[in-house]
Amino acid sequence: MVHIGQTTIELIFGFIALLIATKILGKTQISQLTPFDFISAMVLGELVGNSVYDEHVKIWSILYALVLWTILIFAVEKLTQKHRGLRRTFEGYPSIIIRQGKIDREQLSQNHLDIDQLQQMLRQQKDIFSIREVEYMIIEPNGQISVMKKPKYASPTLEDMSLKQKPVYLPFTLISDGKVVLDNLRESGHDEDWLLKQLKNRGITRFEDALFAEWVEDEGFFCLEMSGQ
């Protein structure tokens, strides 16, 4: 009976501690978790699960482990929000697998995929049964895929509406959280002088004052100002 009572107390204590930790960390939905988030959640659960059935582990040991782990994860979350380089390290970054209808074999290899797996992902996640329908396909950091179809395969199709087909362009994120994404800026064919000029035309004088900026070939420049500016 003493053992049952001790287990009950530890379970209740662990449940409350996990609930508090989850609220502090503010985790997203399971389908949106990055690999780092998933591992963090698993470890957090294991800290409580293994401790509950080990009679040599005291409640204060569980509390210490949970508090320390929560602090570490919370610190990483804050650092990745402020430093884009660390964000890539802990959260990963999107990979363009199909670009303008052509498969990037290097990206395919880096993501440990083959053509059969690629087709399976398209069928299961996007109901696309032919690669020929895809203009762009991106694997997100959480393993999900985003797809932009070729115009004639869009719903409703342009052919059905007797409209002239237009080329599709991939949007380039130029600024994220006040930080210039240099790789995307160069790939879009522009430089920082051009970007700053675009911002100034919209009343924003510094890169840091822009929350988000995007460039699409056929739609031009779009940006959002930091709140409270």
Residue 211 or residue 93, greater confidence? 211
State the chain's mean pLDDT as an integer: 77
- In the predicted model, is pLDDT for residue 35 greater than 70? no
Q: How do the domains of the chain map onto residue ranges? A: 2-90, 95-153, 172-225
Residue 8 or residue 149, greater confidence? 149
Question: Residue 28's pLDDT is what?
Answer: 47
Residue 1 or residue 172, greater confidence? 172
Per cent of the chain over pLDDT 90 is 21
Question: Residue 94's pLDDT is what?
Answer: 86
Name residue 103's beta-bridge partners. 98
Helices (H) and strands (E) in the chain, counts: 8, 8
pTM for this structure? 0.56
- In the predicted model, is pLDDT for residue 203 greater than 60? yes
Average pLDDT over residues 172-178: 87
Question: Residue 70's pLDDT is what?
Answer: 73
Q: Assess whether the region 95-153 and the region 172-225 belong to the same CATH fold.
A: yes
CA angle 55–58–62, rounded 5-degree value: 115
Q: Which tokens in the block code for residue 36?
A: 């780092």
- In the predicted model, is pLDDT for residue 29 greater than 60? no
Question: Residue 152's pLDDT is what?
Answer: 83
Residue 39 or residue 68, greater confidence? 68
Report the distance separating Cα 103 and Cα 105, nearest Å: 6
Class of domain 172-225: alpha beta
Question: Residue 176's pLDDT is what?
Answer: 84
Say whether domain 95-153 belongs to CATH 3.40.50.1100: no
Report the distance separating Cα 224 and Cα 204, nearest Å: 10
Average pLDDT over residues 20-39: 56
The three-class DSSP label of residue 9 is helix
Q: Which residues of 36-55 are buried (b: 16+ CB within 10 A; e: fewer)?
A: bbeebbeebeebbeebbeee
Question: Residue 21's pLDDT is what?
Answer: 60
Among the residue ranges 78-82, 95-99, 217-221, the one predicted with the least confidence is 78-82
Q: Please report where in the chains the tokens 């395969």 appear, as a residue.
A: 153
